[in-house]
Amino acid sequence: MKRVNFKSFTFLLASFLLLVFIFGAHDVQSQDADADPGAGNGIIPFALPQSGPFNAADIQIENNDAIMDWFRSGHANVASEAFRHWDEDEEIRPACASCHSGEGFRAFHGLDGSEAGVVEGPIDVGGVVDCGTCHNAGLAEVDVVRFPSGLMHPVQGVEAACMTCHQGRTAGVNVETAISGMNLDTPNAELRFVNPHYATAAASWLGGYGGAGYQYEGRDYSGRFFHARPVSTCNSCHEPHTLEVEFEPCLTCHQANTPQDIRISRQSYSGTGDTTVGIRADIQANAGLLLDTIKTYARDVAAAPMVYDGTRYPYFFLDANGDAAIDQIDGQPVAYNVWTPRSLRAAYNWKLVTADPGSYAHNPHYALELLYDSIEDLSDPLGIDMDDLNLLR
């Protein structure tokens, strides 16, 4: 027999009792109004009309269009992995709750009256990025957001919400700390894949200034991507409730059918020479080349082939016999455990760039720089001549 979820049962019971109260209050108020025409002029604590029949679609609700737009967005998708990952645990651990629950976000910033900067205790499952996440009046008091690199970035208004949750969970400094003092090409069993996390748009946008990527010594990196003057915040491009990109303003300066088709450079970065495609194509081509190079390095230098599977963490798995199948122990996949400092930092950069599907718009220069430098770094022990690849940084 399936176990009853006590929290779900309690929520349903409370909802039922609330409806009983609402409709009970409605009946009492209606009776009082019939008895005394002057009665019933107070505030009605519910949206339903005082008498029926009625059509639910005809009930006027303030901000209805915005609510419906939000309801169709990823922020409200309660069935998505972003909000259901912790169902079996029946609670969201504090480190994750600040972005995967409106309640956790408010707790993290102290908008619920608690201490700011920490989520005290786990948060119940079932929440989403709700209206109170971005529309809490106290959010206006949040004027700085800390990034994983240690950067304290000034913010205004709802930008605090975007920057808090789309910055990733790690930065290049985490990789540098992990590999410190190790020989670049010697596998170390203590090394584990460092995951930058997902949807890292804010980290991409700030570029080298934000320090999200592993930035190679002696290299300069593009900073925050400053677009045309009106484009200065997340809401400049994204409709705040649907989260969709408002493409029409792009056509003021760009000729393209979609945002992905926009090209911001007259030169090819991928070695193809094709400048008729969007800059996104260059980023994707170089990302594909980097992943292939990481695999080649794992096989030829670390002497331990790997398989990448983007559907399950930690994504990189061991393939010791080189048969292109993930090794298994007791029916479980074996995570790749033959990292060298050189391969780890390259894999981190690859994941950071590909974790932001909008990197071509958020900061294409920074993405291309990270990819080029990672490929170049791996090419040395592999004996690859970068000139032969015809890439541009």
Residue 29: the pLDDT is 40
User: How far is 234 from 138, CA to CA, in rounded Å?
Assistant: 20
Mean pLDDT of the chain: 88
In tens, the pLDDT along 229-273 reads 778 889 889 999 999 998 988 888 899 999 999 998 999 999 999
**pLDDT tier at 11 (50, 70, 90 boundaries)?**
very low
For residues 71-103, one letter each, b for 16 or more C-beta atoms within 10 angstroms of the residue's C-beta and e for the rest, the string is eebebbeeeeebbeebeeeeebebebbbbbbbb
In tens, the pLDDT along 83-137 reads 999 999 999 999 999 999 999 999 999 999 999 999 988 999 999 999 999 999 9
Residue 37: the pLDDT is 42
User: How far is 378 from 346, CA to CA, in rounded Å?
Assistant: 8
pTM of the predicted structure, to 2 decimals: 0.84
SS (H, E, C) 289-355: HHHHHHHHHHHHCCCCCEEECCCCCCCEEECCCCCCCCCEECCEECECCCCCHHHHHHHHHHHHHHH
Taking 50 as the threshold, does the pLDDT of residue 36 lie above it?
no
**DSSP letter, residue 92:** B
